[in-house]
Structure 1
C-alpha cells in the first residue's frame, strides 16, 4: 500500500525490471498516507506512506520492529503560474526569479489571516485569471500526507517557531489553520491528481505538491514554460518511510535504500535519496532554473506527533 506520489515509480518499466533482477515482483495499491491507518493491511508485505509520522503509527498498530527503512525524501513546494509568482513577489509575499523562488510563510499567513484577495494585490489587475481569495490549494489533511504536512509547517510558523505538542497548542492556531483549509472548498485526496490539474491549467494558480513531482516532470523533458517553483522558507520534508509487514517487505525497503540502480531510478522520479545529495544534484543539474538543489534559505519545520497532527487536521476541517 503506497502513497499516490510513488505510483509512477513502481510502475516504471525500468523499476519493475530492476526489482525483478533482485527477485521481486511488486504489486501496489494507493491510499492517502494518513488514511492507511484505517485500512486492514493484513496480507500486505509493506505500507509506504509519504512521511514518518503515519509510518510510526502503522508500525505501532502492527507491532513492526524498528528501524523503519527511509529510502528517500522530498520537500514540499508550491507550484505557481509565473504571473501569480510575480504578483506575490511584488507584494512582498514571495521572491521569484525566472523559474524558482521562495514563499515567505509569515507574509503569506498574514495575507491569509487578513482574507486578502488577488484583486487587493498590486499588479494583479493585469491578469484576468487572478481573482478571488489568495490561497494555496492542498490535499485533504485528514487523509493525505502533503495536506497534513502543510498544516505542520504553517502552524509552526504561526506559533512563532514552536511545534504543537498538545491539544492546547493546536487550539491556539486552529482558527488560522481552519481558514487555510476552508477557503479551498472541495479538496483533492491525492497530490498526484492536484499536480496533474495544475499542469493542465485547471484550478488554482498556487498548488502545494512534492518537489519530486516537479523534478520528475522536468527530467522527462515536459514543457514547463509557465512554471515557477516556490520553496516555502519554512516547509516540511516528506520522509517516505517503509513499514515492513513481512520480512519480504523489510528486505524490499532496505533494497530501495541501498541498491545503486534503484536509487538512481528514484532520483529519476524526483526523489532525494537519504544522505546522498550529490546523486540528486547531478541528475537535476540541467534544471536549476526551477529547482533549489541545496534547499538554500529553506528551514525544516519539526512535525508534531501523529496524534497531535490528526487533531490539527480535524480542527482545520472544521
Structure 2
C-alpha cells in the first residue's frame, strides 16, 4: 500500500509539473499558436516517454522537445532548454576529446532542475546517481531528441511531399502527431499539417479558407460545415462512443442506488441518473456510503458545453432522455429539455474547454477530484493500452450513449485524397485503432482491446441519434443562458 501511495504521489507531481510546462508554453507561444496546438504538442511529446521507469526528468525533456517543435525563435523569453549546450559550455564544447558533452555533464544539466545543488556539486555523488539513470538518459533523451529532429516530426515536408493542411478536433492531435501516421502518409506522397481546434469552433469561427480539409468530431458540426461551404462529400474514417470513466467504489455506490448495472461491461442508466440529479442529491446522502461520503452533488463531470464537443454530446444524450426518450425537435421541446438538464452543467462549477484536461485529472488525482468523467471511449482505451490505468478504474457506458462520428470534410481535391486515405488505407485504420478509435473495420479495434484485455462493448445497441446542428445549437444556447 505504501509503495502504491508513493507511486501515486510521484504520478501526481509529474502531472502537475507537466501542467506547469504546458502553462509556460502557452504563455510563451500564445501569439504564434493557439492553446490547443500547444497542448497537443505537449501531449504528443510526453507519449514518447511512456514506459520509462525513471520519471523525474520527463517534464524538462518534454519542455525541451516541445519548445523545439513549436519553434523557439518565437518564444517571448527565447528560453529553449538546450541540454547539450548547457552541459558543454557556451562554446558548445565539452572537456572530452571528441567535443561531446560527457554523461555526467549532461546529467548535471538536467539534474539542476530536480536535484539539490549540494548533490550536483558533489561530483562523486553525482556520478553515482548518473550511473543509475544513464540508460534512461541515453535511450530516452537521445531517442526523444532524435525523434523531434526526424523528418516525420518536422513541420517542414520533404520537397517530394504534397503538404495538406487540416483543422482537426483536438482529441485527434496525438494521432496526427504519431510518427507512424506521418510515415504512412509520406509513403502516399503527403505531409499533413494538422492544427487542433474545438469542433464547434471549426464549424463556426475558424477561417476554413486556409485549409484543405476540416475534421470535426461530430456529425452535427460536419453538417454545418458542409452547408456553409457547399460540400456534398464527407468521410467517416473512425468513431468513438461517449463513455464515463469512474472508479470501482463509485460504481458500487451507484449500483446500490439503481443507476449502474455491472456485468461484462458496466452500464449507466441516464434516466435514473437524471431523476437523482434533478433532486440535488449529494454523495453523502446515498445509502451505505462509507467510501465517498462527501457533500458534493452526484454529477458527471463534463467540459464546457459552450466550447467543447464532448459536452455537447452529453447534452444531446441527456436532452433526449429528458424529452421522454425522443429526439428533440422544435422550440417547445428544446425549452423543456433545457429546463431539465441545464443544472447538470451549472452545478458543476468550473469546467475545462477540452476533454483532455478532465481525463488527465482522472488519471492522476483519483476520485477525490473527479468521481465520474464524461469522456470519449478512445481516451480510456488509449490509456489502458499504454498502461496508464490504476486497478480500480472502471469504464461505464451510458444507456443510452451517443457515437461521436469523426468526419472529414474535404475542402478541395487534396483534402479529398486525405479523407479517402484515412478511410481506406489498412495501416492508417490500424493506427487509428491503436489510438483507441473505432475504425471502419471494427475487428481492428477489438484486436487492440482484446490484446490488452480492455472490457469494451464492441456492439453498442442503445444509441441516441444526434439532433441536427440547428437543434443542438439551440440547446447549447439555452444551457449557456442558464449560467447567467
Which bracket does the TM-score occupy, shorter chain normalised?
over 0.9
Instruction: Tell me which stretches of 4 or more aligned residues in structure 1 moved more than 6 Å.
Output: none
Q: CA–CA distance in 1 between the matches of 2:263 and 2:330? A: 39
In the alignment, which residue of structure 2 is the partner of 1:44?
211
Task: Tell me, yes or no, if structure 1 residue 308 matches structure 2 residue 474.
Answer: no
Q: 1:158-307 residue pairs with structure 2 within 5 A?
A: 158-201=322-365, 203-274=369-440, 276-295=441-460, 298-307=461-470
Task: Tell me, yes or no, if structure 1 residue 58 matches structure 2 residue 225.
Answer: yes
Q: CA–CA distance in 2 between the matches of 1:57 and 1:204? A: 33
Shift of 1:288: 4.7
Give RMSD over aligned pairs.
Answer: 1.6
Shift of 1:226: 2.4
Shift of 1:292: 2.0
Could you tell me whether the CA contact under 8 Å between 1:76 and 1:235 is conserved in 2?
A: yes
Q: Quick check: 237-246 or 159-168, which moved more?
A: 159-168
Could you tell me whether the CA contact under 8 Å between 2:381 and 2:454 is conserved in 1?
A: no
In the alignment, which residue of structure 1 is the partner of 2:270?
105
Q: CA–CA distance in 2 between the matches of 1:131 and 1:68? A: 47
Tell me, which stretches of 5 or more residues in structure 2 are unaligned? 1-166
Shift of 1:265: 0.1
In the alignment, which residue of structure 2 is the partner of 1:126?
291
Q: CA–CA distance in 2 between the matches of 1:101 and 1:289? A: 12
> What is the TM-score when the length of structure 2 is the normalising length?
0.62
In the alignment, which residue of structure 1 is the partner of 2:299?
135
**Structure 2 residue matching 1:30: 3-state secondary structure:** strand
Shift of 1:24: 1.3
Per-residue CA shift, 1:49-68, capped at 9, x if unaligned? 1011101101111222x231
Shift of 1:97: 4.9
* Shift in alpha-carbon separation, 1:30–1:123, aligned structure 2, 3 A: farther
Shift of 1:136: 0.5
Could you tell me whether the CA contact under 8 Å between 1:164 and 1:304 is conserved in 2?
A: yes
Q: CA–CA distance in 1 between the matches of 2:221 and 2:199? A: 7
Per-residue CA shift, 1:73-114, capped at 9, x if unaligned? 00000000221111111111112358x411011110111111
**Structure 2 residue matching 1:208: 3-state secondary structure:** strand
Q: CA–CA distance in 1 between the matches of 2:288 and 2:230? A: 55
Shift of 1:178: 0.9
Tell me, which stretches of 5 or more residues in structure 1 are unaligned? none
> What is the TM-score when the length of structure 1 is the normalising length?
0.94
Q: CA–CA distance in 2 between the matches of 1:280 and 1:50? A: 18
Q: CA–CA distance in 2 between the matches of 1:18 and 1:312? A: 40
Q: CA–CA distance in 2 between the matches of 1:80 and 1:192? A: 15
Shift of 1:287: 4.2
Q: CA–CA distance in 1 between the matches of 2:246 and 2:221? A: 28
Q: CA–CA distance in 2 between the matches of 1:68 and 1:12? A: 24
Could you tell me whether the CA contact under 8 Å between 1:142 and 1:310 is conserved in 2?
A: no
Shift of 1:314: 1.4
Shift of 1:123: 2.8
Could you tell me whether the CA contact under 8 Å between 1:146 and 1:209 is conserved in 2?
A: yes
Task: Pick from 257, 272, 278 the counterpart of residue 91 of structure 1.
Answer: 257
**Structure 2 residue matching 1:18: 3-state secondary structure:** helix
The structure with the largest alpha-carbon Rg is 2
In the alignment, which residue of structure 1 is the partner of 2:191?
25
Could you tell me whether the CA contact under 8 Å between 1:164 and 1:170 is conserved in 2?
A: yes
Q: CA–CA distance in 1 between the matches of 2:330 and 2:453? A: 40
Q: CA–CA distance in 1 between the matches of 2:236 and 2:177? A: 20
* Shift in alpha-carbon separation, 1:145–1:208, aligned structure 2, 3 A: same
Q: Which has the higher helix share?
A: 2
